Amino acid sequence: MTATPGPDRGRWQNRFDSSLTRMSLLAEVLPRAVLSSRSASHRAAATGIPSSAFGVRQVGETALDEFFIAGFSLLRAVPDEDDIRANVDRCALVGSRLRALPMTEANPDPPELRIQRSIRRKLGPVAYERLDYASPDPHPLLLTGDKTKTAATVRVLEHRERGHPWLLWIHGAGQGRIDDLLSLRAAFLHEELGYNVVFPVLPGHGMRRSKGVTFPGFDPMANVALTARGIAEVRALVRWMHAQDPTPITVGGISLGGPVAAIVAGLEPQVQSVIAVVPMLDLHATMAHHLLRGGDRGRAIADLLRSDPVQDVTSVVDPLRVVPHAQADRRLVVAALNDRVTSVAAAERLHAHWSGPVHWYPGGHIGGVMSSAVRAAITDFASAQT
């Protein structure tokens, strides 16, 4: 008689197989980079997305994206399928009610921002003020997924005299650290372009990370709850900025911060310009896309993240359900034609929805964020507001 493996042994075997599959992703970095770069250079015109150049730089930037994905897959612990299924079942309990809500009800108005603490700091030559304030709660149906609540935090570079426009930058996943002031050119935007510059730290990032809570993670309710909390915090900031000095406000977001910026621009009429740089429109769809590389277990988890209950819950943070109050020519999308981390097709959907300008960058997701050409496009767009 052949012994039937127990559940613990089967679970261990699944983890072992998944680990081997994820390790193999490292060996596939360069082949995938070459093939996807080649494909991007022959993109059909019917897609509405331009073809990219094909050369050493494009392959190199695509390889950087692929290496990031492979490294992220190796380092991130993937829960058991049963645990993720239980998370999806929690989504099913409230998903239909959340989807039925208009965006203005799913994302209720935040209370007035009240500063709890103000600290003046310096990062090299960059002087800024760190403000802590009470974090507004998301919709009550999402609170069961909100596993942590910390004081909201923002770094502000504000001119002493009134009359300067505002620029609020929302970072991407894994960011929110002090070095954002350098990578996002705080001093240049403040001193050269004359902006009051505001850098919020999203929930679950930077100094707001909590032990045992990973964002983004494999609990869709928690992901959406933290995203909705971040949206509420940024909306409270926008209203505070307008009350401080009612000058033009620009809100920009990078990667995971892109949809947050888009939703805030659609809910807050004070926002007169909006920028989405290599935006990640649907977090769970993006995670599912990458999990498809993870063998049978990865495909099973991908199916769970693309299920109807998850889509229902995620609908309350869908940037395509709102239209920015800004005029069409003040809605900029920056898309990377070789983007492997998010999706250039998603960026095109946002561009089509906004009907505004788009800057196509012939390179990858990470390279696009650091590109001088992208920085120049953002500078030109921002300069028109000053």
Note the pLDDT tens digit of each residue in 10-49: 454 454 445 555 567 777 888 888 999 999 999 988 788 9
Q: In this predicted structure, what is the pLDDT of residue 294?
A: 80
- How does 363-382 read in b/e, with b if 16+ C-beta sit within 10 Å? bbbbbbbebeebeebbeebb
* Amino acid symbol at 87: N
**So what's the pLDDT on residue 70?**
86
pLDDT in tens, 320-343: 999 999 999 999 999 999 999 998
Per-residue pLDDT tens over the stretch 64-102? 999 988 887 776 777 889 999 999 999 999 999 999 999
The total of other beta-carbon atoms located within 10 Å of residue 105's CB is 11
**Rg for the chain (alpha carbons), in Å?**
21
Q: Which helix (H) or strand (E) holds 232?
A: helix 220-244
Mean pLDDT of 136-159: 86
Does this model's pTM top 0.75? My answer is yes
How many angstroms separate the CA atoms of 294 and 42, rounded? 27
Domain boundaries in the chain? 81-383
Residues 245, 250, 252: CA angle, nearest 5 degrees: 140
Question: Could you say which architecture CATH assigns to the domain 81-383?
Answer: 3-Layer(aba) Sandwich (3.40)
pLDDT digit string, tens, across residues 216-239: 899 999 999 999 999 999 999 999
